[in-house]
Amino acid sequence: MTKKKPTTPPGSGVTRRGFIGSVGAGAVAAATCAARPGETAPEITDPEAMVEVALDINGRTHRVLVEPRWNLLFVLRERLGLTGTKVGCERGECGACTVLIDDKPRYACMTLAVEAQGAAITTLEGLMDGEKLGPTQQAFVEEDALQCGYCTPGQIVAAEGLLRGNPSPSLEEIRTGMSGNICRCAAYVHIFKAVDRAAAAKKGGST
């Protein structure tokens, strides 16, 4: 025997549309009530609203309009044309997008452009002396510390950051300092030698 579906008397029960509407109204009411007496509710920021930021990159100030949600990686590459910073995993794991922020290595994919205001940003391009390679870049060339080369910009910037904080790192300190950058070609032995060579070059010596 086929069972009859239960019917809802007119004017009673809750429809799907009514339920969604009531939940939405409740959420608005809760958000409104979240403010303390005498205070206004916090303003909701439009994620697509453009704001002007002043970014100090490689010793030059760039004023650019950005969306608050844009990360520094996107702004460097797509708005300023600084393509030495590479797009990798885009979730803070590979290190291809490493830049220096106040001389410390940071993942540009995990840093909002608006967050970087007021800091000194250094990209791969900023390590050069005109058209001449900087000592860390030159050390990577001399030690053949690359294969496919895609991760190399991030590796070089991370090495530069390590040496700015620790001019004479031990091999173990180099391993630890470079651990945030992945080389899928596994050129790590050469990378570690390059960092050691760069340290000597910066001090005016040789390896």
Q: What's 48-126's CATH class?
A: alpha beta
Mean pLDDT of 135-143: 98
Query: pLDDT digits over 89-131, tens only?
Result: 999 999 999 999 999 999 999 999 999 999 999 999 999 999 9
Round to whole Å and give the CA distance between 3 and 9: 18
For residue 29, what pLDDT is reported?
Answer: 46
Round to whole Å and give the CA distance between 129 and 116: 24
| pLDDT > 50? residue 30 | no
Residues of the chain with pLDDT > 70, as a percent, come to 78
Q: What is the largest CA-CA distance in the chain?
A: 94
Task: Find tokens 């994919």 and name the residue.
Answer: 109
Q: What angle do CA 148, 154, 157 make, to 5 degrees?
A: 130
HSE, CB side, 13 Å, CA atoms: give it for residue 11.
0
Give the per-residue SS3 of 2-15: CCCCCCCCCCCCCC
Q: Could you tell me the pTM of the whole model?
A: 0.77
Domain with CATH 1.10.150.120 in the chain: 128-207
List, in sequence order, every beta strand (DSSP E) within 9-163: 51-57, 60-66, 98-101, 104-107, 120-122
Domain with CATH 3.10.20.30 in the chain: 48-126
Instruction: With cut-offs at 50, 70 and 90, classify the pLDDT of residue 15.
Output: low
What superfamily would CATH give domain 128-207? [2Fe-2S]-binding domain (1.10.150.120)
Distances (CA, A) of 127 to 6, 57, 109, 206, 207: 74, 11, 20, 20, 21
Instruction: With cut-offs at 50, 70 and 90, classify the pLDDT of residue 48.
Output: confident
| pLDDT > 90? residue 5 | no
